[in-house]
């Protein structure tokens, strides 16, 4: 059989598609629940079907894949479940926009045909995100792909809803909710984003009913005063506590408002008097319930003033009503002051429209009983990494409010509740009923609302494993091992999965939660389309390959620290992929078709013994870093070992053995070279799966090596304690120090690379002398020197370049090598030219006319130019001083 060869250059695109298809067709990542090995399982945070891969997804997928591939290497029975989220509001918005272009609305189609239309869209474009996940090389089990709105997940959702309802943890009632006028649906508290926006604090006079004076109220929303039902003051506020129990007149409306006392009122904020509008403010709602106040709604679901307000304001928008109310108050002389005031405004996380608090009949989950269990489980049963996110998790659970789970849209899990038209009885059941559970009437109507998308995704760790059915997957892989996610859904998703897992499985849904940081641009700014600083992962894969992108993200994924990403960094790690490829090609040219059967213990020579020792250290470091989620250390360890040690030192040091005539030394070196290269590919595989798979598939093997061609199925390399040799590290450091020191002398003194030098080494011990003498030929080759003199009595001439390595003095005689006078003259000339140019640039920067009038980029360019010249001058001056010291 002809020997397989590597292409001359690494072209990741052909390699990636080939192995993506191979793994999926061969079901490489589809585990058998009855198979051997302890379970290790991860559920993918399901991206929205409307979404496209962004850099946060790319980081998340890379880290999960590292964990899954590493744990397969450890012999674990690994399941990584893929899937997508039906994204109720977002998906419905996409399809409604399509209908709008056709001059239609969802109501023109009707509910059933509209749902069919959304399913058609999902089949056509909703799986686009999955193909992008494939391009990242994610080792998920595609045979178990899930969707939060598929049949099995729908079965789980129904079961959970009914059980929570029967246990009194789901209820229906009037409550103040976050309402989006644009999306026409309720939103949970954590679906509301808060933005600081400029506004005004309006100070308005309310007259006391008995005519004894006025109270000044401060409000940011004067239009809602039309729905005021009380005025509140703090009972500890000596300015106003004597008014508690009296009444005041509501301006523009004329009704009497009770003055109530409550410690909720902040004495220091505004005027210390608070208008209470229970229907249009979350905190006022609580005051209203506490003090049994009337609830009046003056804004409808479109954000328009309704019939409960005075007639002249009816039909106005919020902003129109605000303007009209303030004009009328001004006319009555009731406006005391209008002050600028920046305040936090809630906006819809989907469409960014301003949220209106709105009283509505909705479905809720009673959260406190569930939250108590979820809080107690951390860190007793579930650990959060980094640990500081635990406090944030606790804070949200401690302040939790009931979860509004109903949404006024059509795409989603429809609430399984039916109301009898005859007797009003509410029937909640797993199977669709045909008649009323109380009176038996067939006239029952199903609730129109659907469930919040997060309700179905809260069940993800066990619904993806087949719950409520009793499946082998559920028995084997629940609880899952680790959840990798971003901090932004710690509340939306992580905490709710904890609650549901504990409630329905009696166990936490995952043992570890790893919260990864944000991927920002190179200046630390958050990526956004509006600022134009987005780096598209698919573009980067197209330019540099998936492995280069994955390695870049891994190398900067330090726990708790945001990633500053630039395209240049990804390009840099593409060069690393090329380095690995070229090193392998060199190895392949020097390896026989069948690897020699040499015992590694018999591989002599400093290079062989040192690289085998370092390989063992790398194995240990990688295993520890992966177990501790120190992803950046995984990349840094591999990069240093492959580039700096294996390529830059080991491959150079073994060339004499590979090219020499000593067949015994050659065979031993070939065995070490093959061992280190092949095992390094296995170690590197979790981070860069494609290039390592391609290399593994062409590497020759020793006789009897029947391991498969699929590197993804190989175990983590065994440890070889017999190869550990700390003494060889010290010897190698001495050798490297001598070679590097000699090279540095050449570089610092600008000696041409081709000029051969002599090297003198005054040793401090017999052991060091022996090491250096045993490797003299290598020193001559790598340091490019003619002769090497080694010993305790070596004396260097006066004109020498010198360095010290572990106490040993190395010297390079410079007589006849460097023309000191000419070199000093040249340096003086260059320093003079540089100083003249620097003077011109400094003068320009010292000119206020230039600095104030030139474009900022031009000014910054001149500053950068001056800094670079100053750095260059420093180097030239240091070189001059070095030459003068050598001469003197």
Kind of pairing between the strands at 417-420 and 444-446: antiparallel
> How far is Cα 273 from Cα 250, in angstroms, rounded to an integer?
14
Is 798 one of the annotated binding-site residues?
Answer: no
> How far is Cα 262 from Cα 240, in angstroms, rounded to an integer?
12
- List the structure tokens of 219: 């409000």
> How far is Cα 878 from Cα 884, in angstroms, rounded to an integer?
10
**Calculated CA dihedral for residues 867, 871, 873, 877, nearest 10 degrees:** 150
Kind of pairing between the strands at 214-219 and 192-208: antiparallel
CB atoms within 10 A of CB 617: 15
Give the residue from 83, 126, 90, 191 showing the smallest Cα distance to 411. Answer: 90
> How far is Cα 148 from Cα 702, in angstroms, rounded to an integer?
49
- List the structure tokens of 847: 């000119």
Pure H helices in 705-795: 726-748, 766-774, 776-783
CB 513 within 8 A of CB 374: no
Q: Collect all residues with Cβ–Cβ distance below 8 Å to 448 and sequence separation of at least 6.
A: 408
Q: Collect all residues with Cβ–Cβ distance below 8 Å to 359 and sequence separation of at least 6.
A: 174, 175, 176, 177, 278, 279, 285, 295, 297
Identify the burial level of 727 via C-beta atoms within 10 angstroms of its C-beta, where 0-12 means exposed, 13-18 middle and 19 or more buried: exposed
Q: Collect all residues with Cβ–Cβ distance below 8 Å to 242 and sequence separation of at least 6.
A: none
∠ CA 293-298-302, nearest 5°, is 135
Q: What is the 3-state secondary structure (H, E, C) of 63-93?
A: HHHHHHHHHHHCCCEEEEECEEECCHHHHHH
∠ CA 381-385-386, nearest 5°, is 140
Which residue bears the tokens 């959970």? Answer: 160
Q: 104: helix, coil or strand?
A: coil
Q: Quick one: CA dihedral 137, 141, 143, 145, positive or negative?
A: negative
> How far is Cα 180 from Cα 363, in angstroms, rounded to an integer?
17
Kind of pairing between the strands at 256-261 and 273-276: unpaired
CB 654 within 8 A of CB 673: yes
- List the structure tokens of 295: 């609830």
CB atoms within 10 A of CB 98: 13
Give the residue from 63, 139, 41 showing the smallest Cα distance to 559. Answer: 63
Q: 880: helix, coil or strand?
A: helix
Q: Collect all residues with Cβ–Cβ distance below 8 Å to 861 and sequence separation of at least 6.
A: none
| H or E segment to which residue 855 belongs | none
Give the residue from 339, 302, 327 showing the smallest Cα distance to 317. Answer: 302
Q: Quick one: CA dihedral 169, 171, 175, 180, positive or negative?
A: positive
Question: Which residues are registered as beta bridge partners of 486?
Answer: 516
Q: 308: helix, coil or strand?
A: coil
CB 459 within 8 A of CB 465: no
**Cα-flanking dihedrals φ and ψ of residue 385, to 5°?**
-120, 130
> How far is Cα 242 from Cα 235, in angstroms, rounded to an integer?
8
> How far is Cα 468 from Cα 463, in angstroms, rounded to an integer?
7
Mark the binding-site residues, compressed into ranges.
529
Mark the binding-site residues for ATP, compressed into ranges.
529
């Amino acid at each position: 059989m002809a020997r397989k060869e590597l292409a001359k250059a690494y072209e990741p695109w052909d390699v990636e598609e080939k192995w993506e298809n191979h793994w999926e067709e061969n079901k490489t990542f589809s585990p058998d629940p009855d198979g051997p090995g302890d379970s290790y399982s991860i559920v993918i945070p399901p991206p929205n079907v409307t979404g496209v891969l962004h850099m946060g997804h790319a980081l998340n997928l890379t880290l999960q894949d590292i964990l899954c591939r590493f744990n397969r290497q450890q012999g674990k029975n690994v399941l990584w479940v893929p899937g997508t989220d039906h994204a109720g509001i977002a998906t419905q918005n996409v399809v409604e926009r399509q209908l709008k272009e056709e001059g239609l609305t969802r109501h023109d189609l009707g509910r059933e045909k509209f749902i069919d239309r959304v399913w058609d869209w999902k089949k056509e474009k909703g799986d686009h995100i999955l193909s992008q996940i494939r391009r990242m090389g994610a080792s998920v089990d595609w045979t178990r792909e899930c969707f939060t709105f598929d049949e099995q997940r729908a079965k789980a959702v129904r079961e959970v809803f009914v059980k929570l309802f029967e246990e009194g943890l789901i209820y229906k009632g009037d409550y103040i909710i976050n309402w989006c006028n644009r999306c026409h649906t309720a939103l949970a508290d954590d679906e509301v984003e808060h933005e600081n926006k400029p506004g005004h604090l309006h100070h308005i006079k309310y007259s006391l009913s008995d005519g004894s004076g006025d109270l000044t109220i401060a409000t940011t929303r004067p239009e809602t005063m039309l729905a005021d039902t009380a005025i509140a003051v703090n009972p500890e506020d000596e300015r106003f506590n004597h008014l508690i129990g009296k009444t005041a007149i509501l301006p523009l409306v004329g009704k009497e408002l009770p003055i109530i006392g409550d410690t909720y009122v902040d004495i220091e904020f505004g005027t210390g008097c608070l208008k209470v509008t229970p229907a249009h403010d979350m905190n006022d709602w609580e005051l209203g319930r506490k003090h049994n106040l009337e609830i009046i709604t003056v804004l409808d679901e479109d954000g328009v003033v309704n019939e409960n307000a005075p007639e002249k304001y009816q039909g106005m928008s919020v902003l129109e009503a605000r303007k009209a109310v303030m004009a009328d108050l001004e006319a009555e002389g009731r406006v005391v002051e209008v002050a600028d005031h920046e305040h936090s405004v809630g906006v819809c996380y989907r469409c960014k429209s301003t949220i209106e608090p709105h009283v509505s009949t909705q479905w809720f989950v009673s959260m406190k009983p569930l939250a108590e269990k979820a809080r107690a489980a951390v860190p007793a049963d579930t650990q959060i990494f980094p640990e500081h996110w635990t406090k944030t998790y606790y804070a949200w659970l401690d302040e939790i409010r009931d979860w509004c789970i109903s949404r006024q849209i059509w795409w989603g899990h429809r609430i399984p509740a039916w109301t009898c038209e005859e007797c009003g009885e509410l029937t909640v059941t797993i199977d669709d009923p045909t008649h009323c559970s109380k009176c038996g009437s067939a006239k029952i109507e199903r609730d129109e609302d659907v469930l919040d998308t997060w309700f179905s995704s809260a069940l993800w760790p066990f619904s993806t494993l087949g719950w409520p059915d009793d499946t082998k997957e559920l028995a084997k892989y629940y609880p899952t091992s680790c959840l990798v996610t971003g901090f932004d859904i710690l509340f939306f998703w992580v905490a709710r999965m904890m609650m549901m897992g504990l409630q329905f499985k009696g166990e936490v849904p995952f043992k570890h939660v790893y919260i990864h940081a944000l991927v920002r641009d190179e200046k630390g700014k958050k990526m956004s389309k509006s600022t134009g600083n987005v780096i598209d992962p698919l573009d980067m894969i197209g330019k540099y390959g998936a492995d280069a992108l994955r390695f870049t993200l891994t190398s900067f994924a330090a726990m708790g620290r945001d990633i500053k990403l630039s395209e240049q960094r990804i390009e840099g790690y593409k060069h690393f992929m090329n380095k690995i490829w070229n090193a392998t090609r060199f190895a392949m040219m020097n390896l026989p078709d069948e690897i020699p059967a040499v015992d590694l213990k018999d591989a002599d020579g400093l290079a062989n013994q040192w690289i085998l020792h370092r390989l063992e250290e790398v194995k240990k470091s990688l295993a520890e870093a992966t177990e501790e989620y120190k992803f950046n250390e995984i990349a840094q360890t591999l990069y240093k070992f492959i580039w700096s040690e294996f390529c830059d030192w080991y491959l150079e040091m073994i060339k004499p053995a590979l090219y020499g005539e000593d067949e015994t030394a050659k065979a031993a070196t070939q065995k070490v070279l093959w061992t280190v290269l092949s095992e390094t590919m296995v170690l590197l595989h979790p981070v860069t799966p494609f290039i390592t798979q391609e290399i593994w598939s062409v590497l020759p093997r020793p006789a009897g090596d029947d391991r498969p061609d699929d590197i993804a199925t190989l175990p983590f390399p065994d440890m070889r304690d017999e190869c550990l040799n700390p003494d060889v590290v010290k010897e190698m450091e001495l050798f490297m120090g001598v070679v590097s020191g000699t090279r540095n002398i050449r570089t610092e003194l600008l000696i041409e690379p081709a000029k051969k030098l002599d090297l003198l080494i005054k040793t401090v011990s017999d052991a060091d002398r022996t090491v250096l003498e045993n490797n003299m030929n290598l020193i001559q080759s790598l340091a490019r020197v003619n002769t090497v003199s080694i010993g305790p009595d070596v004396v260097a001439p006066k004109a020498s370049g010198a360095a010290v390595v572990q106490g040993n003095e190395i010297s390079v005689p410079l007589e006849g090598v460097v023309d000191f006078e000419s070199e000093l003259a040249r340096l003086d000339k260059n320093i003079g030219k540089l100083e003249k140019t620097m003077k011109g640039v400094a003068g320009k920067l010292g000119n206020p006319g230039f600095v104030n009038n030139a474009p900022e980029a031009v000014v910054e360019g001149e500053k950068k130019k001056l800094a670079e010249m100053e750095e260059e001058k420093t180097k030239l001056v240091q070189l001059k001083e070095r030459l003068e010291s050598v001469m003197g």
